[in-house]
Each structure stands twice: as structure tokens, then as C-alpha cells.
Amino acid sequence: MSADSDDLVKFISALALLVGGFCVVGWQVYEYLRYNIWTPVSVVTALEWMKIQWALNPTDWVGLYNILRKVPLSVAMIVSGWMVVMSEQK
């Protein structure tokens, strides 16, 4: 892979993570404003939606599971996207 294609992959990844994170928050705000219900979406919630067996029934690394259960998906996505952006700095 060339340097240009690596940069493009990083850019698209960062953009997807940042936009996705803000979309999750936007959806939560919409649900709250329309129905007066705040729907929490954690990293574990996303893993459960993807049918990851460990998230559905954790039998190992339970401490990590509990941490990821408390981390909002939007925060994880935005921070990850920002880290990709910052990795571009030379």
C-alpha cells in the first residue's frame, strides 16, 4: 500500500468514527426530545448488537466488561476518531 492510500484509509476511518459518534449522540438527543426517554448506548450495547458472544455472556475479563458497559459508545467513537486524526500529525 502506498503512503497516499494509507492516508486515505486513515482519513476515512477517522471521519467514519467522528461522524458515527456524533450521530449516536444526535439519535439519543432526538429520542429524548421526542419521547422524553434517554436511551443509553454503551460500547457493550454495540457489541451485543453485533452478536459478539463475549458481550452477550461474559465469563472472562468481567472487569473489562464492566468498564465497557459504562463507556458511552459515542465517547469511544469520538475519542478513537480523534486519536486517528492525531496520529496523522507529523
23 contacts 46 by C-beta, under 8 angstroms:
no
Q: What is the pLDDT of residue 6?
A: 84
List CB contacts of 7: < 8 A, sequence separation 6 or more. 88
pLDDT, tens only, 32-71? 999 999 999 999 999 999 999 999 999 999 999 999 999 9
* Residue 43 identity (one-letter amino acid): V
pTM to 2 decimals? Answer: 0.86
Domain coordinates in residue numbering, the chain: 3-87
pLDDT, tens only, 62-88? 999 999 999 999 999 999 999 999 987
Cα maximum dimension of the chain: 49
